[in-house]
Amino acid sequence: MSSKTINLNDSLLHYIQSVSVQESEVLKQLRAETAKQPMAVMQIAPEQGQFMSLLVQLLNAKKTLEIGVFTGYSALIVALALPPDGQVIACDINKEYTAIAQQFWQQAGVAEKIDLRIAPALETLDKLIAENHSNTFDFAFIDADKSNYSNYYEKALQLVRPGGVIAIDNVLWSGRVADPEVQDNRTQKIREFNQNLAQDSRVKISLLPLADGLTLALKL
Ligand SMILES: C[S@@+](CC[C@H](N)C(=O)[O-])C[C@H]1O[C@@H](n2cnc3c(N)ncnc32)[C@H](O)[C@@H]1O
């Protein structure tokens, strides 16, 4: 019994990964390929990917949204968890990163499930709202530029159905959110976002200390 979340050191994290993460070969290969990129740290952790895969299955999700694709790990693990007629609408602005993503989606046999939209995500989300996709998504994952988190959340909240879930990444921002000495713009934006979400009566939330912090918001 414990009233406090355990502190994770490296050996405990390795233990958790060794007894719980079941990463398929293609996901392992994508992780290895991404490790060659200077911005490899942007990729989600494997235990987070596995959690999201489970969540998508628990929700019986068919239609999902991703904001921030990078080399495609989170979109791939979600697409693999969806039924054959499932769909991920995936937003990013970077053609170079997403070219790697598309190669691995193809290799995994899920390319036809992922509709990649190369444009500023706010434009794609506005277009989806204008095209009557509101209240139709089962799951949304927000993992792009932090300055727009509140905007992404508001649009995702329109697009997700009641009972659907929005997952928001990096809400602990390597612990900087709780360090009063850190006052840069991105940290402040995440703090502000977390604070507002805690008071939002349109959702029920849980902030999980998983990887860099993942908040789940269930749309009521
Ligand atoms: C943290 S990475 C995403 C990581 C990814 N979810 C994964 O599993 O590897 C953030 C991504 O957001 C994209 N991005 C940044 N600003 C954006 C914008 N305004 N619209 C869409 N995508 C954006 C970046 O190009 C980058 O690929």
- Residue-level pLDDT at 1: 64
**Measured from the CB, is residue 169 less than 6 Å from ligand 1?**
no
CA 34 – ligand 1 centroid, Å = 14
- CA–CA distance, 155 with 138 (Å, rounded to integer): 14
Tokens for 213, please give them.
């912090």
- Residues of the chain where predicted confidence (pLDDT) is lower than 70: 1
Its pTM surpasses 0.95: yes
- Residue-level pLDDT at 2: 83
Ligand 1 atom with the smallest distance to the CA of 42 is: 1
Ligand 1 atom with the smallest distance to the CA of 74 is: 8
**Measured from the CB, is residue 173 less than 6 Å from ligand 1?**
no
98 within 8 A of 73, measured Cβ to Cβ: no
Going by their DSSP bridges, the two strands 214-219 and 137-142 should be labelled as unpaired
**164-212 pLDDT, tens per residue?**
999 999 999 999 999 999 999 999 999 999 999 999 999 999 999 999 9
Domain ranges across the chain: 21-219
CATH of span 21-219: 3.40.50.150
Q: Where are the alpha helices (DSSP H) in the chain?
A: 10-20, 25-34, 46-58, 73-81, 95-108, 121-130, 149-159, 185-198
